[in-house]
Amino acid sequence: MKLTNPSELKRLLEPYGFSFSKSLGQNFLIDENVLDSICESANLTENSGVIEIGPGAGTLTRELCKNAKKVIAIEIDKALLPVLKESLAEFDNVEVINSDILKTDLQSIINDKLNGLDIAVAANLPYYITTPIIMKIFEERIPVRSMTVMVQKEVADRMTAKPGTKDYGALSVAVQYYSKPKIVCSALPHCFMPQPKVASIVVNMDIPNEPIIKVKNEKLFFAVVKSAFGQRRKTLVNSVSNSPYINISKQDITKVISDMGLDINIRGERLSLEQFGELSDRLSEI
Ligand code: SAM
């Protein structure tokens, strides 16, 4: 079975009367090179346990099954369950769970089904919930070593953006706080069925046990980052002092920024991850 072949994919789906749902972000991968790139960069071994988000018809799932010890595929669309039963019939190391990834207790799944394995997440993500999925995996601190995901190009640009660029924002800082993201390859609309309107990129994130920088108060760190990018045209001093989550006077914030050797009129978008860390550490001591 070669599901990157559009006629084979259609032949699999047709008997089940399956029709693609736009609102569930169903654009199935039909490009072999992109499929290989996702699998290679996920760096799977015989000790890997993979969580796949949104298996669709099982195209990527089949490759993951060939390269990992166990695969748990979480799919929201009931209509795809019989399709997956057929496309994954030859593998005994896969389990499909019918649920919404955002409501799924991933830690319990790891404890119950992937215990002792090196956990990787792999997915061609449904684009309408890309950021909530990525943030869920980071914030729940589940022991995932790497995440390899297909996302919309604009999101990949934001995830990997450097300070001072137009794409640099709260998502860049969050992703680069929890992981080391790198771009693997791009996928134009013709790599999917049906074709999406946007270009896509595969991003691989190595996730260390501890975040990339150490901060004294993580909640304050993210409140500072959120406020700094919430009002991009304002100076950092004004954005942070206007934040409803940070109760520190404008005068104190100005002093901290100046003590850091920064221009007091600087905008948040110019601060590196380390500088955001230093700023929130200094503010936590006020
Ligand atoms: N992995 C397949 C592929 O590459 O061909 C399908 C990828 S398609 C872009 C996204 C998949 O995510 C669809 O199968 C869709 O039904 C599923 N999906 C959408 N929302 C979901 C959710 N909240 N939880 C789990 N799966 C979801």
Q: What is the pTM of this model?
A: 0.96
Q: Where are the domains of the chain?
A: 6-206, 218-284
Report the percent of the chain where pLDDT is more than 90.
98
Number of H helices, E strands in the chain: 12, 9
CA of 167 to the centre of ligand 1 (A): 26
Count of other CB atoms within 10 angstroms of residue 65:
21
Q: Residue 188's CB: how many other CB atoms inside 10 A?
A: 14
Taking the centre of ligand 1 as the mean of its atom positions, its distance from the CA of residue 143, in whole angstroms, is 22
- The pLDDT value recorded for residue 232 is 79
What pLDDT does residue 130 have?
A: 97
Residue nearest to atom 1 of ligand 1 (CA): 55
How does DSSP classify residue 76?
-
In this structure, the residues whose C-beta lies within 6 A of any atom of ligand 1 are: 24-29, 53-56, 59-60, 74-77, 80, 100-102, 124, 126, 129
Going by alpha carbons, the residue nearest to atom 3 of ligand 1 is 28
For residue 105, the CA-to-ligand 1 centroid distance in Å is 17
Per-residue pLDDT tens over the stretch 101-148? 999 999 999 999 999 999 999 999 999 999 999 999 999 999 999 999
Average pLDDT over residues 206-233: 95
> Which of 28, 106, 137 best tests ligand 1's pocket when mutated (most atoms within 8 Å of CB)?
28
Which atom of ligand 1 lies nearest, measured to the CA of 56?
14
Query: Closest residue (by CA) to atom 23 of ligand 1?
Result: 100
Per-residue model confidence as pLDDT tens digits over 29-52: 999 999 999 999 999 999 999 999
CATH value of 218-284 in 1.10.10.10, 1.10.8.100, 2.40.50.140, 2.40.270.10: 1.10.8.100
Q: Could you read off the pLDDT of 221-280 as tens digits, one per residue?
A: 999 999 999 987 899 999 999 999 999 999 999 999 999 999 999 999 999 999 999 999
Section 66-95 average pLDDT? 98
Atom number, ligand 1, closest to the C-alpha of residue 24: 19
Please state the CATH superfamily assignment of the domain spanning residues 6-206 in this structure: Vaccinia Virus protein VP39 (3.40.50.150)
Average pLDDT over residues 64-74: 98
* Ligand 1 center–CA 129 separation, angstroms: 10
Instruction: Kindly report the backbone phi and psi dihedral angles of residue 198, in degrees, each rounded to the nearest multiple of 5, phi listed first.
Output: -115, 160
Q: In sequence order, which ranges of the chain are alpha helices (DSSP H)?
A: 6-13, 32-42, 59-67, 81-87, 106-113, 130-139, 153-159, 170-178, 218-230, 236-242, 250-259, 273-284
